[in-house]
Amino acid sequence: MLMLCAFSASAQQSKNHKEPRVRFGVGYRYSLGLTEKYKIVSDFGKITSPWGAPEYLRGGELRFEVTVRLTPDWNVGAGTGFGSYDDQGEKTFLGYLKAERLYGKRASRWFNYAEAGATFYPDNGAGLTGSLGGGYRLAMTRRTRLDFTAGLEYLNLVGKANIYDSSTGEFIGIEKRGARFNRFGITFGIAMHF
């Protein structure tokens, strides 16, 4: 299978190719938190942290999107998906808008992207998300592309938080609502576009 993909991709790379006007995609993006700051308003009082190591380092998103070619080098799109950014498995829904700048005229080529959107938590409200990055679009067939991406991400997470006494470090309780985390991280993604 890998040899078939490599042969197909190398054949497609040598041709100048016009991108389809509309493309649909599905992909997965892995999120690795680098630093975060949180604010919690609860029965235990208001707690604000300095920037530091994230409480939850990992997360990921299953994404579905549609992109429209504006010019040979610019695409815009919109997407939706499901994400989970904590060890407790709390799910979130997301919606986003994106813009892509492609380089070169070949079917396989480099690109940059920018995204902005919102995350929606079933029990806790909404937050914001945004990312900037780049990637490589590998032409598999005339219409099919495989995107490999890496980027920087901002997430405004809303969810549960463990509350500790700042003077003793003892566990006080769990705040199920009203915890808001601002997290910066890096992402790695793979997506198939048709």
Q: What is the pLDDT along the chain (194 residues), one digit of tens a residue?
A: 444 444 444 544 445 567 789 999 999 999 999 998 887 776 666 777 778 777 767 888 999 999 999 999 999 999 999 998 766 667 889 999 999 999 999 999 999 999 999 999 877 788 899 999 999 999 999 889 999 999 999 998 876 666 666 667 666 565 555 678 889 999 999 999 99
Q: Residues 193, 67: contact at Cβ < 8 Å?
A: yes
Spatial neighbors of 18 by CB under 8 A, at least 6 apart, are 72
CATH architecture, domain 23-193: Beta Barrel (2.40)
pLDDT score, position 178: 64
Q: Residues 182, 37: contact at Cβ < 8 Å?
A: yes
Whole-number Å distance between alpha carbons of 64 and 7? 27
User: 113: burial class by Cβ within 10 Å (0-12, 13-18, 19+)?
Assistant: buried
Whole-number Å distance between alpha carbons of 51 and 41? 17
